Structure 1
Amino acid sequence: MSHPATEPGSHTQHSTPPTLASAASQAATRSALMGAIFLMATSAVGPGFLTQTATFTAKLGAAFAFAILVSILLDIAIQLNVWRVIGISGLRAQELGNKVLPGLGWVLAICIAVGGIVFNIGNIAGGGLGLDALLGVNTTAGGVFTAAVAIAIFLFKRLGAALDKILVALGIGMVLLTLYVAFVSKPPVGQALKNSVLPETVDWLVIMTLVGGTVGGYITYAGAHRMLDSGQTGVEHIRTVAKSSVTGILLTGVMRVVLFLAVLGVVAGGVVLDTTNNPAAQAFQAAAGEVGLRIFGVVLWAAALSSVIGASYTSATFLVPNRPQMRRVQNIVTIVFIVISCTVFVLIGTAPATLLVFAGAFNGLVLPLGFSLVIFVAAFRSRDLLQGYQYPKWMIVIGVGALVVAWWLAWRSFAGVFALLGS
């Protein structure tokens, strides 16, 4: 999304002193980078992650810490490479794909769009549930309101210019409110730390589900694609790219851990969550009473809104060429994406289970497919696509390790889908 105040032609050459223009440009760049960081973090902690965390913590207790740790480590290996390759090349993932193998980028774009639009229905439904918990609003009306807010952000220039600040506010609010619930629930932190490296139980299906929902699909590219809008690309900005990616990864990890601890404190205290009926809301309410339920409403709505923005924006960046003159078209595609998702939500209430299964399979495929492209460019095409940059070998090594895990998880995911369809 473009920032009107920094578009070419928005100021005449003599209307703003050079020092003020430079300061404004630097502020806009910092804002875009912060937006990229929080877009990545909030996209990874959407309504699905809130529900999954409550459900799996109720099932595994402190042992779920191991799954959280695995997802964070995999996220680190993937995002460090994705941000660096996209940041240095200055190209979006699908553009890199088409340069490596004509058509590959469009295959990736289709997978992102198909998975994204189905999961966006779930994000809008999550917004409805959040407003229901917060204000008692009808869930359908709440979902439509959430979609309308997201559309307004992309429709009106002033809101569009404030997008990065909105994402930062949503992210910080989610962390602080969940941190409060984690504090009052008094989780067994020592037990969680022990289980993160020596788990009492290891459930690979849980790990696959968590990784697919927090690393796969559009989430892999949300922050990196947003970073391109800052203009901080190329070898000369490698330090900025690296610092931004690490900050985003740490923020994402904090958000995941704090939410897990909040639910763990409730479960460890003997509360039995009904995993078939909004277990995350039950956990917040059990920890902090009526206030906790309202806090959950705010957290869920913030997670839903930021995920609607992230899924729609990132999907649009895969469908529209990365050129300044195409930013208006990109905004229109983003809005259409939200409208379609919201319309389907109103008609059927939520995403059909079968579509969600297939979307999950697409997400499981998108992660290794797109990441294979990133590692290939880093290892073999740095001379032409990365401006001759000497790519760190240690990053390629950890990237290859993450890639092997991603392909294995994808295989297990598709095997589970085919088994489900055959039964």
Structure 2
Amino acid sequence: MATSAIGPGFLTQTTVFTEQLLASMGFVILVSIIIDLAAQVNIWRIIAVSKKRAQDIANELLPGLGYFLAALIVIGGLAFNIGNIAGAGLGLNVIVGVDAQVGAILSGLVAISIFLIREAGKAMDRFTQMMGFVMVILIVYVMFTASPPVGKAAVSTILPERIDLLAIVTLVGGTVGGYITFAGGHRLIDAGISGKERLPEVTKGAISAIGIASIMRIFLFLAVLGVVSQGLALDPQNPAASVFRHAAGEIGYTIFGIIMWAAAVTSVIGAAYTSVSFIKTFSLLVERNQKWFTIGFIIISTIVFATIGEPVKMMILVGSLNGLILPIALGVMLVASYKKRIVGDYQQPIWLTILGGMVVAAMSVMGIYTIVNEIPRLFS
């Protein structure tokens, strides 16, 4: 779940909003972490104790609701995959200098070939793990070399000069929105980690996954803040990459491009596979032809981005769209947690329900606000 969250959208969203909000981005990150924890702990516990997948829980709660939830997840997964394709295009733009849209088409073809050739997929997984380790080191290095104003960031985390609702919705959507948190919960079911007796382990896993993603976001926030606080301008076409160029030179810039491309391509495969897995239980046709449906999913994502372009704006948009799905999905899970035919004799802690309900209400209000006011302005 953590590696699904830390992708090209994660890097771009954090960079763009830090450049806009400066130290006040600390407050956005703090709020998003609280929302992420409340959502993920609730969802994972309910999935684990019911021993059922989210779409099956929803269908038991209300016939047909599972199909609606699956449709939302697939739509969110498609949006996320468009963002992943955009990130892959930006990665190739850094590495070899091709246009981002051309890079996206080439990356889509690579993703399809990796999916078809299992050995290549395993090699890509190992490569991405290695590059991810390099990325962590590079971000920490950039953070220290950029000398961020840590004191000001700490103060603004509690007393922000500016609050941006689009930033909060986007960050939450990029961490636990859409398919991401459910993919993590479903992996627990696949691994046999379910039932009331495993809830402490499930809760610990949910918190750990959010913790890993949050620590990486904080490091990146401080690195970007250090660069922009020096008065250095970021490239609007690829802001995250330019942070590494300013702090680590051309070598850091190229390494970042490789990391972003590798993470994006593997995220394309993961998002497509997980999204299709949400609907394969509803149709024998999809189940028998899952590979081809997944390839079709990748092709559609690539065509949409190649047609629209605007990679940076697309990655902001997809995060916000996935944030809009969260209150619906979490609301369904919270109601299901009080149905004995679904969770048996399990009793959901009241404080978790209250916290989850607050997230549903807050994300609904912020989501509606961003649809009406912020998203149209993003593309104006």
Q: TM-score range by the shorter chain?
A: 0.7 to 0.9
Residue identity opposite 1:241 in structure 2? V
Q: Alpha carbons of 1:272 and 1:417: their partners in 2 closer, same or farther (altered >3 Å)?
A: closer
1:23 match:
none
Q: 2:223 aligns with which of 253, 259, 262?
A: 262
Pairing 1:251–2:187 present: no
Residue identity opposite 2:296 in structure 1? V
Residue identity opposite 2:346 in structure 1? Y
Residue identity opposite 2:43 in structure 1? V
Structure 1: runs of 5 or more not aligned: 1-39
2:324 match:
365
How far off its partner does 1:216 sit? 2.1
Q: 1:388 aligns with which of 345, 348, 352?
A: 345
Q: Alpha carbons of 1:79 and 1:409: their partners in 2 closer, same or farther (altered >3 Å)?
A: same
Distance 2:328 2:302 in 1: 29
2:12 match:
51
Q: Within 5 Å, give how 1:117-132 maps onto structure 2.
A: 117-132=78-93
Contact 2:21 2:162 (C-alpha < 8 Å) held by counterparts: yes
Distance 1:79 1:210 in 2: 14
Q: 1:290 aligns with which of 246, 250, 259?
A: 250
Q: 1:249-297 CA deviation, whole Å, 9 max, x = no partner? A: 11111121111111111011221224x3222122111111112211321
**Deviates further, 166-175 or 189-198:** 166-175
How far off its partner does 1:372 sit? 0.1
**TM-score under structure 2 normalisation?**
0.87
Pairing 1:116–2:73 present: no
2:264 match:
304
Distance 1:262 1:133 in 2: 19
Residue identity opposite 1:216 in structure 2? G
Fraction of identical pairs, as percent: 46
Pairing 1:210–2:160 present: no
Q: Alpha carbons of 1:407 and 1:336: their partners in 2 closer, same or farther (altered >3 Å)?
A: same
Pairing 1:105–2:62 present: no
Q: 1:190-222 CA deviation, whole Å, 9 max, x = no partner? A: 221221112122223332333333332223323
Contact 1:108 1:366 (C-alpha < 8 Å) held by counterparts: no
**TM-score under structure 1 normalisation?**
0.78
**Deviates further, 223-232 or 364-373:** 223-232
Q: 1:342 aligns with which of 288, 302, 324?
A: 302
Q: 2:279 aligns with which of 319, 335, 338?
A: 319
Pairing 1:277–2:237 present: yes
How far off its partner does 1:244 sit? 1.9
Q: Alpha carbons of 1:348 and 1:77: their partners in 2 closer, same or farther (altered >3 Å)?
A: closer
**Deviates further, 337-346 or 162-171:** 162-171
Q: Alpha carbons of 1:326 and 1:90: their partners in 2 closer, same or farther (altered >3 Å)?
A: farther
How far off its partner does 1:170 sit? 5.6
Structure 2: runs of 5 or more not aligned: none
1:14 match:
none
**Partner secondary structure for residue 278 of structure 2:** helix
State which structure, 1 or 2, has the greater radius of gyration over its C-alpha atoms. 1
1:415 match:
372
How far off its partner does 1:141 sit? 5.0
Contact 1:58 1:272 (C-alpha < 8 Å) held by counterparts: no
Residue identity opposite 1:229 in structure 2? D
1:90 match:
51
**Deviates further, 383-392 or 53-62:** 383-392
Contact 2:286 2:293 (C-alpha < 8 Å) held by counterparts: no
Residue identity opposite 1:363 in structure 2? N
Distance 1:273 1:418 in 2: 22
Residue identity opposite 2:116 in structure 1? L
Contact 2:48 2:202 (C-alpha < 8 Å) held by counterparts: yes
Contact 2:32 2:172 (C-alpha < 8 Å) held by counterparts: yes
Distance 2:303 2:309 in 1: 10
2:136 match:
175
Q: Alpha carbons of 1:196 and 1:310: their partners in 2 closer, same or farther (altered >3 Å)?
A: farther
Pairing 1:377–2:363 present: no
Q: Alpha carbons of 1:64 and 1:354: their partners in 2 closer, same or farther (altered >3 Å)?
A: closer
How far off its partner does 1:329 sit? 4.2
1:20 match:
none
Contact 1:121 1:342 (C-alpha < 8 Å) held by counterparts: yes
Contact 2:173 2:324 (C-alpha < 8 Å) held by counterparts: no
How many residue pairs align between the two structures?
A: 379
Distance 2:122 2:248 in 1: 36
Distance 2:316 2:148 in 1: 32
How far off its partner does 1:101 sit? 1.0
Q: 2:190 aligns with which of 229, 235, 238?
A: 229
| CA RMSD, Structure 1 to Structure 2 (Å) | 3.3
Contact 1:47 1:300 (C-alpha < 8 Å) held by counterparts: yes
Q: 1:163-187 CA deviation, whole Å, 9 max, x = no partner? A: 9767755644432332222222222
